[in-house]
Amino acid sequence: MKAVNNTLNSNNGYMKNKEKTEPEVQLEILEILPEQMLQEMLGIYKTSANMESYVKIPFFIIGVFFLIHNIFIAGRSYNYDTYNTIKTTEFSIVGIIVVVVCIMAGIAIDKNLKLKKRLTNASKTYNVSLEKMQEEFSGIAIHLYGGRGIKLTK
């Protein structure tokens, strides 16, 4: 817990001077949850948040691919065999990219489901409301790793 508290305090400068310029944030889940459990959940969130940035890369590649197609291939006439080869190559490349995106999405969904399950179980085990768990964990996770946070449902 101290590692997370120190990170929160040192990164935002809550404790710059001996005087507090801003109120110190007290989070209930930092007090209640065991540090190792919180670190494991934050680790899962980190890998999930990192995957979000990697998902953007295939879409950029598809955009570049269409640009190259329009500049060098579209509007020209080819014999039938060459046309079929070009078409097959383009569909293969796009198909591979779509499969990669689906695999990445599946991994990200799996990580999110594991995290939600652990947060829900911790909420029940340590008698913390789901709303409080969602709000405080998302605040910590977004502060440390970015991303969109986590949404827990009943």
Terminal Cα distance for the chain, rounded = 27
C-alpha 71/C-alpha 129 separation (Å) is 57
The answer as to whether 16 is a domain residue is no
The answer as to whether 138 is a domain residue is yes
State the amino acid at position 42 in one-letter form: L
Q: Domain total for the chain?
A: 1
The answer as to whether 79 is a domain residue is yes
With 0.95 as the threshold, say if the pTM is over it: no
The answer as to whether 3 is a domain residue is no
**Whether the Cβ atoms of residue 31 and residue 128 lie closer than 8 Å to each other:** no
- Residue-range definition of the domain harbouring residue 134: 34-145
The answer as to whether 118 is a domain residue is yes
Q: Walk along the chain (154 residues) and give the pLDDT tens digit of each residue.
A: 555 555 555 554 444 455 556 666 678 888 888 999 999 999 999 998 888 878 888 889 989 999 998 998 888 888 999 999 999 999 999 999 999 999 988 998 899 999 999 999 999 999 989 999 999 999 999 999 988 888 887 6
C-alpha 115/C-alpha 42 separation (Å) is 9
The answer as to whether 12 is a domain residue is no
The answer as to whether 107 is a domain residue is yes
